[in-house]
Amino acid sequence: MDHKKLAYFFARITLGVNFSIHGLVRLPKLKGFAEGIMKGFEGTMLPEFMVIPFAYAIPIVELILGIMLLLGLYTKKALAASAILMIVLIAGSAFKEDWGAVSTQMLYALYIFFLIFFQENNSWSLKANKKTD
């Protein structure tokens, strides 16, 4: 394996560990997590009926995307879904005027962008076929 493939592998695994552990530690306390998210959006322009389903979905989506990235399963689709997740999280943080969170989420978005951009280096995965991934 050349250095570019090795670098890509570790970058993909790092994001996979990050997302999967984010989801994993939140699942046992899902109700409390969701309630905390909803409380954080009190007084914002976003109505509760929009926040509630997303608050419950975040940990599940993080866990699924994390596992997909760890395994290298449909990497391009997992990264595209990760980018969409970041877009939604950035929008939510902007509605809360939580610019510190937006800054961190922008770094995640950039990290995901580079993984998508350099995907030809994806290897050591369950589904590394560039044409169908």
The 10s digit of each residue's pLDDT in 25-82 is 999 999 999 999 999 999 999 999 999 999 999 999 999 999 999 999 999 999 999 9
**Model pLDDT, residue 8:** 97
The 10s digit of each residue's pLDDT in 76-114 is 999 999 999 999 999 999 999 999 999 999 999 999 999
> Which amino acid is it at 62?
E
